[in-house]
Amino acid sequence: MNQHALESPPLLTANAVTVLERRYLKRDQDGKVLETPADMFLRVARAIAAADLEFNKNADTETLAGQFYAIMTDLAFMPNSPTLMNAGRELGQLSACFVLPVGDSMEEIFDAVKHTALIHKSGGGTGFSFSRLRPAKDVVKSTTGVSSGPLSFMRVFDVATETIKQGGTRRGANMGILRVDHPDIMDFIMCKADNKQLNNFNISVGLTEAFMEAVRHDENYDLINPRSGEPVGTLNALKVFNRIVNQAWENGEPGIVFLDRLNRDNPTPHIGMIESTNPCGEQPLLPYESCNLGSINLGKMVVDGKISWDRLREVVHLAVHFLDNVVAVNRYPLPEIARMTTGNRKIGLGVMGWADMLILSGIPYDTDDAVELAEKIMKFINDEGHAASRKLAETRGAFPNFPGSTYEKRGEPPIRNATVTTIAPTGTISIISNASSGIEPLFAVSYIRQVMDDDILVEVHPLFEKIAQEQGFYSPELMQRIALHGTVQDIEDIPADIRRIFVTAHDISPEMHIRMQATFQKYTDNAVSKTVNFAKGASIADVASVYALAWELGCKGVTIYRDGSRDKQVLSTGAAREPAEEVERDGKQPLKKRERPRILKGWTYQMQTGCGPIYITINEDNAGIFELFTTMGKAGGCAASQSEAIGRMVSLAWRSGIQARQVVKQLQGISCHSPSGFGENKILSCADAVAKAIQEHMAANGHASVKEKPAFMKGACPDCGGIMEQEGGCSVCRACGFSDCA
């Protein structure tokens, strides 16, 4: 690599540096950071470039490493997180996406559990289809007993995931899919209705074209026992579809995946059928297959308001070369995965910064012009990506399973990679790149972040801030007003043409979200990760119409999020105050403590913490909530003693007249080294578990009503207090890089 390349530092924001230091950079055994961001990019560039020696012993890997280093440090391209973390290091596992088979025998099921643990330990996420498992109460001839069904075994995978912390930097995430014609489908649709189960899973229903036609005509369809392949009953397709829609409206799950479309575009049907996807749904894979992803920052492809097609072509070709090299140097966690992955050599080149490109081009996201540009951009990337892959095949050969593939059957020339393009949620790599996420619109133009000690910081999108300062309407007060308001669309202090360009996720209709997803899907080999945002007041019928539109427009799956449907952040009293809290005090007199009756009624709540289960008992007297006790399962020592201390202090506070919601406010969100759970059900510590148990108790027993925090506090990040954005079925904090899927 030439000296000039080494002297070019990464174009990183302070926020990006913080994310890299917390989650990516190499550390010693004491946790001390051992490399700079430039060191990390150089480590990755050299490790990936070294793969060229496998194909040409005289390859100039230093020059190639310089090119790889340049596109990463210029923030024009970024590989997926495991590649940044592990390339050139001992672990060497560079893939984010895996799919494992789950067969219909005890041996196959627990082999899959073991393989899941190994993948999560190495830093990957896993997808499963549970459709091969016989239904609950079906016959098991070997034991003359009955099957417990897919859901019971999904819980086994969930518990296994909970115990594995991925490489110290990433946490396990799963996708669980069940075919719509499985006899247990109705139970599967409702399996996450109470938000207390399967918290390490995203779930999706695998829909078939026959099912969707039956929905269209309000017809019944057959349920098939996977053990025998025989019909065992029927259901009304429209009723099942409505159940899926209702549940998605309630809490965003299940999503839907159109299985026949995944297999229509399966390039190697002679090798196997696609049954599942990775955890965020954008990467359909065969059993035992993995995929390596990377994304081009489209915002970096705009110069003076014009798209630089030459620069985009250059980055596409380098990125395809980079990702094919990743397949070569990757250290796979299982030999079966190595065989399947190197047999198909799938890569997934996608994009981020799409919203930034539109803003820099002066095009509003929710317009026909934006859709037209999306088609042009993605067709260009897909065409050039395939051209780059075919160029590699000229010297390296086609992927080994090319004979018999759909490419060969269509008479196309050899290609190095069975798939080339994927639109993934870009999560933390878009934070590193200072880019908007994937193909999502802006989440917010300005938002307020609450940090420790209740300090409030206003964060503004850099392009909006730049324009506001250039045109003379910038002020800190206006930025805070925008953050509290949630949109710029009706703020007259901002010029109308600027308001029109800076539309956010909730300014855009769900139909436009789907149109954008479908447009990118048209020129994407794999699938497209995209969240369809709904306002809190959206109806169930609105969700149903979007699902139907997604099918009609050719999408391969849908993930929706209705604002507030997963927000259970704060408990506050309603009009009536709790009698227990009505204690006179003026700050000078000592608080009067209620005496404890001999008999009290109580409720016990089990919460899962990183130290094991904690049992929280809340007792009441005639005046209301009175005291709290904790028991730490089999755990002892510090965890048990700290929990007992929390219980004593909470009890004293309540008996002295402190409001329950004030206790929740103090305990909620406290983090420890060993969190537990997934999504909004994540338990950050024993103190956080106590807060959540109090919330649950108050809501269930009529002492208080649940209401939302202000918009800027929804989905606060448990690590830093930053705002959490819904992205492809996951929540991501752009302030620190925390993700509940990774």
Residues annotated catalytic, as ranges: 278, 280, 282
Q: What single DSSP character describes residue 531?
A: E
Alpha carbon 68 to its chain's center: 27
Q: Residue with structure tokens 């992927």?
A: 399
**CB count, 10 Å around CB of 702?**
9
**Burial of 599 per CB tally in 10 Å (0-12, 13-18, 19+):** exposed
Contact by Cβ (8 Å): 732, 738: yes
Spatial separation of the C-alpha atoms in residues 668 and 404, rounded to whole Å: 57
* CB neighbour list of residue 563: distance below 8 Å, 6 or more residues apart: 506, 533, 534, 535, 536, 714
**Burial of 35 per CB tally in 10 Å (0-12, 13-18, 19+):** middle
**CB count, 10 Å around CB of 101?**
18
Spatial separation of the C-alpha atoms in residues 481 and 458, rounded to whole Å: 10
Contact by Cβ (8 Å): 723, 449: yes
Distance (Å) of CA 297 to CA 289, 370, 372: 27, 17, 19
Q: What single DSSP character describes residue 104?
A: S
| 204: nearest Cα among 134, 261, 279, 148 | 279
Task: Write the single-letter amino acid at 365.
Answer: Y
Number of DSSP helices (H) and strands (E) in the chain, helices first: 25, 29
* H-run or E-run covering 696: helix 686-700
Length of the chain measured in residues: 742
Q: Residue with structure tokens 């850099």?
A: 462
What number of CA atoms fall less than 13 Å from residue 5's CA on the CB side?
A: 19
Q: In this structure, what are the phi and psi dihedrals at residue 533, rounded to the nearest 5 degrees?
A: -90, 135
